[in-house]
Structure 1
Amino acid sequence: MRNASYREDYDRLPQAIIAIGNEYPANHVVQPHSHRRSQLLYSASGMMRVTTEHGAWMVPPERAVWLPAGELHSVQLTMGPLTTSSVYILPDAAPGLPTTCQVVGMWPLMRCLLLEAIDVPLSYDPPSRDGLVMALLLQELRRLKPVLPPSLPFPRDEKLGAICNRMLEQPSAHDTIDHVRSELGMSRRAFTRLFRVETGMSFAAWRQQACLFAAMPRLATGEAVTTVALELGYESPAAFTSMFKRMLGAPPSRYFQSIGAPLRGGSEG
């Protein structure tokens, strides 16, 4: 089903797994919502940011995001337009599937099955060919493996969470512990301890991930590494590229080639 929004009555369908396709314009935002079924959300092109109560994930092209049943989430297109394929699975249909939100890799068979599945009627007969396609898709879901995109856990502390959300929208390499801890009225030691307890990361690592969140959509649409790096507060393009490679395992040019979104002319790295 293409261009169909998820409806609450889909939760009551007896089929263990159903699929829906959709198309979204650039910069579209899907407001916070949840559903009783778990969801695998995939797009062959475009880039999206998925945000839950627990954190945020950047989902590049040719990757998918897994959302467990009941997870409140929103989706923001950061590079679009976006053509998506989503499968929705009853929670007890396939034991062993992930229980936390994560970005996962795709493989050729899964891509083909997702494209086929969105044309399967919601009320398919399990013994039919359509049912066999969906059964194979359900089996392939067991092969989901997390990949390494930028992800940001959110603190539960209300005041710290508000600051982190603000930093996520306007990150800068110039943000320091002293800037933030003074705003909270905390000592450096107390802030460092609180931040790691709340996020599981150091402040420096979290800040770098926030910068990656801001940089990736811009790089993927052709902005030069020099421009992005300097606007994010890095001293030089080389310093930004070094951070990018350390966090994602490859410099910007090779990283985007590996996900099928090669950088356009005028980008270094």
Structure 2
Amino acid sequence: MSRRRSFPAFAPDRFAPTPERPLRAKSRLLEHLTDIHPHQHTWAQLVFSMTGAVRVSTAASTYIVPPSRAVWIPPRLEHAVTAIERCDLRTLYLQPDLLPGEAWRLGRVLEVSPLMREVVQALPALPDPLPPESPADRERRACLEALLLVELQRARPLALGVALPQDARLRRLCEAMLREPGRLGGLDAWAAEAGASPRTLSRLFREQLGTSFAQWRSQLLLAHALTLAARGQPMSHIATELGYASASAFTAMVTRTVGMPPSRFFAEA
């Protein structure tokens, strides 16, 4: 059984953007089930993985994203990162004035174009103190940064967040479901896990999250299914991993939730 690892944020101040270097890149390999403690900073952040899925959590939402997606984190928003599987994590730190406007003050999921991935990979990922740059290196970096900002502004936002409650008991249950979405089935099983009646659990979901247990769990399962589909897993494997008895039962859930079959939803999402 894999052991969970937990670490503080990896020296973010050593990569802090400055007026001279308003955009900084960082890379880090995270093993499966590695947690980076909740933290915040005065600059904005874009986080995604070149390989492997990651989960980015705030007080109000959690985002489960495969390599084709990134999470935008505005300044001063406390967040934590979990490696759902071994991943090559990439982080961009940006001064807030690089992307002004109301839309950039909110956390959200963005589509990562192939060009954006290549640009991020090409940016120097070096902490302070920075080595001297030649004029040619400085010009190349400036061009890469300008191109990256263009790609970020063109990136399509995606509604892939899962809301999280403030109630401590319900929060613990939601966190357990996030860790192992397919371990238990319906409302009765998860209510027993929480030591509450199904009626009480149903009421908490309505009061805290404005949705039913079934609707919230469907959103959670869709987010996990996206990470499995991004790795090319067949529908039967995805269904089994998420606790469905058959691929047809999983297909029915996806179709009921998003109004289209999984093959089309995964292609469009």
- Normalization by structure 2: what TM-score? 0.73
CA distance in 2: counterparts of 1:119 and 1:178, whole angstroms? 46
The gaps in structure 1 that reach 5 residues or longer are 260-269
- Residue of structure 1 equivalent to 2:76: 70
Distance 1:180 1:137, change over 3 A: same
CA distance in 2: counterparts of 1:144 and 1:88, whole angstroms? 17
- Residue of structure 2 equivalent to 1:90: 95
CA distance in 2: counterparts of 1:45 and 1:192, whole angstroms? 37
- Residue of structure 2 equivalent to 1:167: 177
CA distance in 1: counterparts of 2:193 and 2:116, whole angstroms? 49
Classify the secondary structure of the residue corresponding to 1:8. helix
Q: How many residues align?
A: 252
- Residue of structure 2 equivalent to 1:99: 105
CA distance in 1: counterparts of 2:74 and 2:144, whole angstroms? 22
Does the 8 Å CA contact 2:71/2:108 hold for their aligned counterparts? Answer: yes
Amino acid at match of 1:91: P
CA distance in 2: counterparts of 1:89 and 1:223, whole angstroms? 35
Please show how residues 144-223 of structure 1 align to structure 2 within 5 Å: 144-149=155-160, 151-172=161-182, 174-176=185-187, 180=191, 188=199, 192=202, 194-218=204-228
Classify the secondary structure of the residue corresponding to 2:80. strand
Please show how residues 23-172 of structure 1 align to structure 2 within 5 Å: 23-27=28-32, 29-32=34-37, 33-80=39-86, 82-96=87-101, 97-118=103-124, 128-149=139-160, 151-172=161-182
For the aligned residues, what is the CA RMSD? 3.8
Does the 8 Å CA contact 2:54/2:84 hold for their aligned counterparts? Answer: yes
Percent identical among aligned pairs is 32
Does the 8 Å CA contact 1:67/1:102 hold for their aligned counterparts? Answer: yes
- Residue of structure 2 equivalent to 1:240: 250
Deviation at 1:135, TM superposition (A): 3.3
- Normalization by structure 1: what TM-score? 0.73
Distance 1:18 1:191, change over 3 A: same
CA distance in 2: counterparts of 1:193 and 1:234, whole angstroms? 25
Deviation at 1:117, TM superposition (A): 2.6
Does the 8 Å CA contact 2:17/2:23 hold for their aligned counterparts? Answer: no
CA distance in 2: counterparts of 1:158 and 1:65, whole angstroms? 25
CA distance in 2: counterparts of 1:77 and 1:24, whole angstroms? 10
Does the 8 Å CA contact 1:63/1:104 hold for their aligned counterparts? Answer: yes
Deviation at 1:157, TM superposition (A): 1.2
CA distance in 2: counterparts of 1:226 and 1:182, whole angstroms? 27
